[in-house]
C-alpha cells in the first residue's frame, strides 16, 4: 500500500463506502515570528480543517513529556491508544493524517500507528495546503474506535542501537546540513552529529510544493547515501519528528528503516556520547 495519498484521492476516499478516519496533526517546532507565541495547533484546527478531521496533539498524545529520553520520547501507549480511539480509529478502518504542509507531524502519527500495528495508514501528500475541498470549523464527535496499540518488536533504535548502526549499517541524520556539521545548534546543548551518521536533510525528500518526490527519485537519492533495501537503515533528527518524515520517504522508496526516537536531543544531553562535527561522517 502506498504510504501517501493525494488530495484528489482523499476526496474520493471520503465519498466512498469506507471513508478514512482523518487526523489533523498541525504542529510547529518554531514559535510564531510576529507575536513570539508558541504555535497553537488546536487554534489552527478550530479556524478550519478538513471536514470530519479530529485534532491530535503531537506534544501530549504522540509523545511523552521531554526529559532524559529526548524532547519527544515515545508516548505512553495508554495515552496514545485513548487518543486514537477518541478520534475514531479502529483496527479495520483506514486512517489519513495531515498537518500544515511540512509533513513532519503527520509522519510522526503515521509512524506511530504503523509501529503499533495499524495496517492502513497514509499521509496526505502536501498537507492541508494541498487540500482544495471544503473545510469546517466544528469539531466532530466520531464513534469511539477500538484500536489498541501493540508495539512491534523492531523498527525502533535506542542510543546504543543508533551508534551500532552507524558502524554496521546506514544511519541517516534528517536535520538540516548546518546542524549536522555543527555550524549552528539552535535547540540542543551540543552541535554536530552521531559519529558515522550520514547527512540526509528532509528538505530533499520533497519538491518545491512540499510534495514527496517520486519513488524512483527517492530511491536514487537514498542509494547515493548508501541506503538500499538490502542494508540495515536507521534515521534520527532532533527529537524523532522530522526523522519520521524520512522514514516515510524511505518507505515510499521501498527501503525499510528504523527510527531513533530520542534522536539528537537525547544523544547530545549525555556527555559520555561522542560527537562528530564537519561534513565527514566520522
Give the pLDDT confidence of 95-153 residue by residue, as tens digits. Answer: 999 999 999 999 999 999 999 999 999 999 999 999 999 999 999 999 999 999 999 98
Are the C-beta atoms of 253 and 222 separated by less than 8 Å?
Answer: yes
- pLDDT tens digits for range 236-261: 999 999 999 999 999 999 999 999 99
Active-site residue identified among 113, 170, 237, 253: 237
- The residues facing 253 across adjacent strands are none
Average of per-residue pLDDT across 213-235: 97
Average of per-residue pLDDT across 256-276: 97
* Average model confidence (pLDDT) across the chain: 95
- Distance of CA 45 to CAs 138, 143, 163, 279, Å? 9, 20, 39, 40
| 33: confidence class by pLDDT, cuts 50, 70, 90 | very low
Work out the angle at residue 168's Cα, subtended by the Cα atoms of residues 162 and 173, and round it to the nearest 5 degrees: 45
> What confidence score (pLDDT) does residue 1 get?
62
Average of per-residue pLDDT across 9-16: 97
Average of per-residue pLDDT across 231-236: 98
Residue among 229, 153, 166, 232 nearest 199 (CA): 166
Q: What are phi and psi of 253, to 5 degrees?
A: -80, -5
What residue ranges in the chain does DSSP mark as E strands? 4-5, 21-24, 54-55, 95-98, 121-124, 156-157, 170-173, 198-199, 233-236, 258-260
CA 145 to CA 150: how far, in whole Å?
Answer: 15
> What confidence score (pLDDT) does residue 240 get?
97
> What confidence score (pLDDT) does residue 130 get?
97
Could you confirm whether 85 is annotated as catalytic?
Answer: no
Are the C-beta atoms of 260 and 159 separated by less than 8 Å?
Answer: yes
Average of per-residue pLDDT across 71-89: 98
| 25: confidence class by pLDDT, cuts 50, 70, 90 | very high
31, pLDDT greater than 50: no
> What confidence score (pLDDT) does residue 97 get?
98
| 39: confidence class by pLDDT, cuts 50, 70, 90 | confident
Cα four-point dihedral sign 193, 198, 4, 103 = positive
Q: Which three cell numbers stand for residue 44?
A: 489552527
206, pLDDT greater than 70: yes
Q: Higher confidence at residue 121 or residue 40?
A: 121
CA 261 to CA 243: how far, in whole Å?
Answer: 8
Rounded-to-10 torsion of CA 186, 190, 191, 197: -130
Average of per-residue pLDDT across 222-239: 97
Half-sphere exposure of 37 (CA within 13 A, CB side): 5
> What confidence score (pLDDT) does residue 30 get?
60
Cα 193 to the center of its chain, rounded Å: 20
What residue ranges in 103-190 does DSSP mark as E strands? 121-124, 156-157, 170-173
> What confidence score (pLDDT) does residue 35 get?
54
Amino acid at each position: 500500500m502506498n504510504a501517501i495519498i493525494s488530495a484528489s484521492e482523499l476526496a474520493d476516499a471520503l465519498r466512498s463506502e469506507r471513508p478514512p478516519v482523518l487526523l489533523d496533526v498541525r504542529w510547529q517546532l518554531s514559535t510564531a515570528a510576529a507575536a513570539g507565541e508558541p504555535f497553537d495547533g488546536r487554534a489552527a484546527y478550530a479556524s478550519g480543517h478538513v471536514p470530519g478531521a479530529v485534532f491530535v496533539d503531537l506534544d501530549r498524545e504522540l509523545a511523552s513529556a521531554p526529559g532524559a529520553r529526548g524532547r519527544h520520547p515515545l508516548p505512553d501507549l495508554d495515552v496514545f491508544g485513548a487518543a486514537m480511539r477518541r478520534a475514531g480509529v479502529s483496527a479495520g478502518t483506514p486512517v489519513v493524517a495531515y498537518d500544515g504542509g511540512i509533513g513532519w507531524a503527520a509522519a510522526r502519527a503515521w509512524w506511530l500507528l504503523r509501529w503499533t500495528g495499524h495496517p492502513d495508514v497514509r499521509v496526505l501528500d502536501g498537507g492541508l495546503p494541498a487540500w482544495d475541498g471544503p473545510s469546517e470549523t466544528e469539531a466532530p464527535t466520531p464513534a469511539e474506535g477500538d484500536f489498541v496499540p501493540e508495539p512491534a518488536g523492531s523498527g525502533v533504535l535506542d542510543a546504543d542501537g543508533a551508534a551500532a548502526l552507524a558502524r554496521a549499517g546506514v544511519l541517516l541524520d534528517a536535520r538540516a546540513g548546518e546542524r549536522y556539521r555543527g555550524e549552528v545548534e539552535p535547540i540542543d546543548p551540543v552541535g554536530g552529529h552521531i559519529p558515522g551518521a550520514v547527512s540526509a536533510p528532509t528538505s530533499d525528500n520533497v519538491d518545491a510544493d512540499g510534495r514527496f518526490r517520486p519513488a524512483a527519485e527517492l530511491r536514487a537519492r537514498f542509494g547515493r547515501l548508501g541506503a538500499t533495501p538490502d542494508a540495515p537503515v536507521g534515521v534520527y533528527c532532533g527529537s524523532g519528528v522530522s526523522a519520521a518524515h524520512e522514514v516515510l520517504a524511505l518507505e515510499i522508496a521501498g527501503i525499510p528503516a528504523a527510527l531513533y526516537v530520542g534522536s539528537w536531543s537525547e544523544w547530545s544531553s549525555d556527555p559520555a556520547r561522542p560527537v562528530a562535527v564537519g561534513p565527514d561522517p566520522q
